[in-house]
Chain A
Amino acid sequence: MRFLTTRRRHRAAKPLLLAFALLVMGAFYVAVSPAPQVSADAGTSGQVAAGKNLFAVTCSSCHGLNGEGTKQGPSLVGVGAAAVDFQMSTGRMPMAHPGAQAPRRVNTYTAEEIAALSAYVATLGPGPSIPNSSAYDYSKLTDEDLARGGELFRTNCSACHNASGIGGALPEGKYAPSLHGVEPLHIYEAMRTGPQQMPVFSAGAIPDHDVASIIGYLKNLEKQPSAGFSLGSIGPVSEGLFGWIIGIGGLSLFAVWIASRGARAR
């Protein structure tokens, strides 16, 4: 300790002490402050920054400047990158105008912009990430897997989306959209994130393999040839309509023709 006391008035003591204090503070800051979540990817921090900027322009008026949510839009903390990717890639977000439900539209954002926004929203809190294509790959499934996917679809999905996947009505102007022509990735993301009226089907409830089976069933069902004109695939309502119009209507025309040369009394 003599060393400290004897040299305490040395000219270099003050600057050295200052440097030491700064070092301690720096070490303390590094130890205490949260590590940036995007540290794994060197390019991500820039992406997040870009996403934050884009978020402020396109999303913040409803979802709040920090994604905390407002009266117009829900909080995005913890929705995950998958939710952003689903909503923006299918053109549902940003919403054109407030309504019961955001309809599917043509997406006008580039893949980079959506990736940046997804990366930014993912930093707000942990949530489902954008899956690898292997998670929903159905190309290697057996017929039994596909049939099981159909059974799962009818148990979990068809009550709203219709057995043929053409969608259906929900209360107050809401609806379950048609699943025809929807990307497998988006079906996966919708099941995991539960957009709009849809419930979340977590991996604990329906594991990835079963999700792939459901997607495989739907994609195969779309490819099935129909037994004639499908009449909108909406079941007995359109069947009755066509039965009356073509059946009774058409045959009435024939009847008019047959009865047109009637007998006269004179």
Chain B
Amino acid sequence: MARPAKISTTSEYDVPSTPPEEPGFRQFSGFPAWLDERVGVGKIVKFGLRKVFPDHWSFLLGEIALYSFIVLLLTGVFLTIWFKPSMAEVEYTGTYQLMRGLPMSEAFESALRISFDIRGGLLVRQIHHWAAILFVAALTAHMLRVFFTGAFRKPRELNWLIGVGLMALSLIAGFSGYSLPDDLLSGTGLRFVDGLIRSIPLIGTWAEFFVFGGEFPGSILISRLYMVHILLIPGILLALIAAHMTLLVYHKHTQFPGPGRTDKNVVGYPLFPVYMAKAGGFFFIVFGVLILMGALMTINPVWVFGPYNPAQVTAGSQPDWYMGWVEGAVRIMPGWESHWGGTTWSWNVFVPSVLLMGLLFTVLGLYPFIERWITRDNSEHHLLDRPRDVPTRTALGVAGMTCYAMFWIAGGNDILATHFKVSLNAVTYFMRVAVFVAPIIAFIVTKRICLGLQRKDRERLLHGGESGVIDRSLIGGYSEAHTPISQDEAWTITQQRQFEPAAEVETVDADGQPIKWPKLRARLSRWYFSSDVAKPSRAALEAAHHHDGPAEPTDIESGTKADILDDQLETDAHR
């Protein structure tokens, strides 16, 4: 048995007293202090408010995406109040004269009601749709910025993957929204997706039955898409955006190379007050531009398209821009089909839609890892690459964009044919070739431009910029004096770490870790780096700056032959 505890007769709590104030500077008072003492927001706020963000216009592309997403949520809530996600058939009795008495789904009827009978409904619908267009566009532009500046490198690979996920989900979000009003265009889009699902070998038909609850169009799809559009996808998007931004804060923002900027600091303004004002102001600018677009530019006039009817179709049926490249791929694909044993393999649909989309997202997801495997670059990067300094990556990116653009253009082949008075067939045949040839041309051209810019940088570094002053010497020779570039610029253009192409097949990296597929890796490394224009050595720099005499070719250790030649010519001219 437990003994009863002794009861003390005195207690330290008998005398009410407040603990002595901790010495030091009190940062908060009033409500903030009250909140800080209870949930400890002080540290978080202090950490957050003093967070420094660097300035560059391209860093705001992601913000456009974020703000359009907020606008999407706000306008989306408004639309859900009146939208009826039902495919039940009703007779239209609303105010739009040219539809009166037509049978249509409740979804389309409510879309018409939002457009014509709800105050401000059409404006909000148009803002919502423009915001969706802008959201995916800004996301794409942001992703391209991250790609071309190498911001996906260590330690940000995970955030890149989250970004790829956001991209894929935003396509689904956009497409499901496009399909909801149940007008002729959205129904045609769903028919496209129906074909896409059915083209999946072997399981296609059953997958279609699963998605549509039977044969197309069925009677439940709109309510399913509604759930996807307003709950499932936005929920995941929100979670991923939160993770994306948490990682952004954790990693700190990247910055372009420049004076005083290193991999160990961030140069910029703190969140409070400067960036708060900049970012907050930008939110209102984005919101304002979207309202202007919604107010001034027609988007998706569902009443022109009419209610969906599987027997009807309209010329110029296209998806919103972000699915346009898939549409284009399907449009230009030759009609290949195989019949094996009682099964049909629709390559004409499966390859350009399902496989191509899978390919894009696989390549996007794998790229950071492929590049790291080639470069063996294991260091952390917080300074961005200037695109010219990584010519092969930049050229690859432009080639990818070009390929995408060719598919994209093919998606509007009918518009091209009518507006530029060319044959639809000619456009289609041209695009079939262009999707393969144009990226190769773009790759070569971009790489040449990058290398040219590299040479220009080296040139400025060694000999400065043109002064525009021509001197005539006593014996009649002319020469232009060059002005040396500033230390800041010299610092900026020499920030880039120079990689050497793999000289021989390495089987282990610097840390002694085995390299996978070493032969392929070595060949790719040479392809990736061998054409880079070498940075001038210290000796070459000094020699070039003195202009006392011709620089000895031996001084230039890593310069290419062309550089050495240039160097001699320059110095000769200066004598």
Contact of B100 (CB < 8 Å), options: A143, A173, A244, A264: A143
Pick the interface stretch among A9-17, A65-73, A253-261.
Answer: A253-261
Evaluate contact between B55 and A263: CB separation under 8 angstroms.
yes
B423 and A173 contact, CB distance less than 8 A: yes
Which of A168, A227, A236, A261 is B320 in contact with, Cβ under 8 Å? A236
A173 & B424 in contact (Cβ 8 Å cutoff): yes
Question: A241 contacts which chain B residues (CB < 8 A)?
Answer: 321
B120 at the interface (CB under 8 A from A): no
- Say whether A243 contacts B298, CB under 8 Å: no
Separation in Å of the B23 CB from the closest CB of chain A? Answer: 35
B435 to chain A, nearest CB (A): 18
Query: In the complex, which of the residues A144, A236, A254 contacts B285, with contact meaning CB atoms closer than 8 Å?
Result: A254
- Per-residue contact bits, chain B 107-128, to A (CB 8 Å; 1 contact, 0 not): 0000000010000001000100
Q: Which residue of chain A has its CB nearest to the CB of B303? A: A224
- The reply to whether A147 and B99 contact each other, CB–CB distance below 8 Å, is yes
Would you list which residues of chain A between 183 and 206 have a CB under 8 Å from chain B? Answer: none
Assembled-state Cα–Cα distance A117/B269 (Å): 81
Query: Which of A233, A237, A244, A256 has the most chain B CB within a 10 Å cutoff?
Result: A237
- B311 at the A/B interface (Cβ < 8 Å)? yes
Of chain B, the residue at the smallest CB distance from A242 is B297
B282 near A154 (CB under 8 angstroms)?
no
The answer to the question of A58 belonging to the interface, with a C-beta cut-off of 8 Å to chain B, is no
Asked if A163 and B64 make an inter-chain contact with CB atoms under 8 angstroms apart, the answer reads no
CB distance from A154 to the nearest CB of B (A): 4
A235 B317 Cβ-Cβ under 8 A: yes
Residue A159 interfacial (CB < 8 Å): yes
Chain A residue at smallest Cβ distance from B60: A255
Given contacts A168-B418, A172-B423, A243-B133, is CB(A158)–CB(B312) below 8 Å? yes
B56 touches A262 (CB 8 A): yes
Answer whether residue A7 sits at the interface, using C-beta atoms and an 8 A cutoff.
no
Hey, which chain B residues are within 8 Å of A239, CB to CB? 129, 133, 297, 299-300, 320-321
Question: A147 touching B101 by the CB < 8 A rule?
Answer: yes
Q: By the criterion CB–CB under 8 Å, are A176 and B315 in contact?
A: yes
Q: Give Cα distance in the complex from A228 to B269, angstroms.
A: 40
A250 contacts partner chain B, Cβ-Cβ < 8 Å: yes
The tally of residues in A whose CB lies under 8 Å from a CB in B reads 66
Q: Considering the complex, which residues of chain A in the window 212-240 have a beta carbon less than 8 Å from any beta carbon of chain B?
A: 217, 220-221, 224, 226-231, 233-237, 239-240
| A interface SS class | helix
- Measured between beta carbons, the chain B residues less than 8 angstroms from A266 are 259-260
Q: Hey, what's the 0/1 contact readout for B532-547 against A, CB within 8 Å counting as 1?
A: 0000000000000000
B367 interface residue, CB < 8 Å from A?
no
Stretch in B134-142, B202-210, B460-468 touching the partner: B134-142
B414 at the interface (CB under 8 A from A): yes
Q: Are B281 and A258 in contact (CB under 8 A)?
A: yes
CB contact list, B504-554 vs A, under 8 A: none
CA distance A157 to B269 in the complex (A): 60
Taking a contact as CB atoms under 8 Å apart, the answer to whether B141 and A248 are in contact is: yes
In the complex with contacts A175-B418, A247-B133, A235-B316 CB distance below 8 A = yes
Q: Is the CB of A243 within 8 A of B134?
A: yes
Q: Which of B318-350 contact A (CB under 8 A)?
A: 318-322, 324
The CB with the most chain B CB atoms within 10 A, among A155, A176, A227, A234, is that of A227
- B305 close to chain A: CB less than 8 A: yes
Whether A237 contacts B418 in the complex (CB less than 8 A), given A170-B424, A247-B293, comes out as no
Q: 1/0 per residue B83-97: CB within 8 Å of A?
A: 000000000100001
Q: Whose C-beta in chain B lies nearest to the C-beta of A150?
A: B98
**8 A Cβ contacts from A46-83 to B:** none
CB of A121 within 8 A of chain B?
no
Please tell me if B383 contacts chain A, counting CB pairs below 8 Å.
no
Which residue of the partner chain B has the closest CB to A238?
B415
Report if B309 contacts A (CB, 8 A): yes
Q: A168-B414, A175-B417, A240-B324 are in contact. Are A247 and B315 (CB under 8 A)?
A: no
In Å, the complex CA distance between A104 and B269 comes to 62
Is B44 part of the binding interface, using a Cβ–Cβ cutoff of 8 Å?
no
Say yes or no for A34: interface residue by CB 8 A criterion: no
Contact among A164, A173, A247 for B422, CB-based, below 8 A:
A173
Is B267 an interface residue, CB under 8 A from the partner? yes
B57 within 8 A of A: yes
A159 and B115 CA atoms in complex are apart in Å by 25
Which chain A residues lie closer than 8 Å to B285 at the CB level?
251, 254
With an 8 A cutoff between CB atoms, is B314 at the interface?
A: yes
Q: How far is the CA of A221 from the CA of B301 in the complex (A)?
A: 12
| Cα A248 to Cα B101 with chains together (Å) | 41
Shortest CB–CB separation between residue B308 and chain A, in angstroms?
A: 10
Asked if B54 is at the interface (CB within 8 A of a chain A CB), the reply is yes
Once the chains bind, are A258 and B296 in contact (CB under 8 Å)?
no
Given contacts A150-B98, A167-B418, A243-B133, contact A228 B126 (CB under 8 A): yes
* B414-433 contact mask (Cβ, 8 Å, vs A): 1 or 0: 11011001111110000000
Q: Does B102 contact A (CB under 8 A)?
A: yes
What A residues does B100 contact at CB under 8 A? Answer: 143-144, 146-147
Question: Interface readout for B271-300 with A: 1 if CB under 8 Å, 0 if not?
Answer: 000000010011001100110011111111
21 A-B interface contacts by CB (under 8 A): A143-B97, A144-B101, A147-B98, A150-B99, A159-B312, A164-B301, A166-B316, A167-B315, A167-B418, A169-B315, A169-B418, A169-B424, A171-B423, A173-B424, A224-B98, A228-B295, A236-B300, A237-B318, A244-B321, A248-B61, A263-B54
Nearest 10 CB-CB pairs, A to B? A265-B260, A240-B321, A168-B315, A262-B55, A243-B133, A169-B414, A163-B314, A255-B60, A173-B423, A169-B417
Additional A-B contact list (15), CB under 8 Å, known A248-B138, A258-B282, A264-B267: A146-B100, A150-B99, A151-B102, A228-B126, A234-B316, A237-B318, A239-B133, A239-B320, A243-B137, A247-B293, A254-B282, A255-B58, A262-B268, A265-B258, A266-B259
Residues in chain A within 8 A of chain B (CB atoms):
100, 143-144, 146-148, 150-151, 154-155, 158-164, 166-173, 175-176, 217, 220-221, 224, 226-231, 233-237, 239-244, 246-248, 250-252, 254-256, 258-266
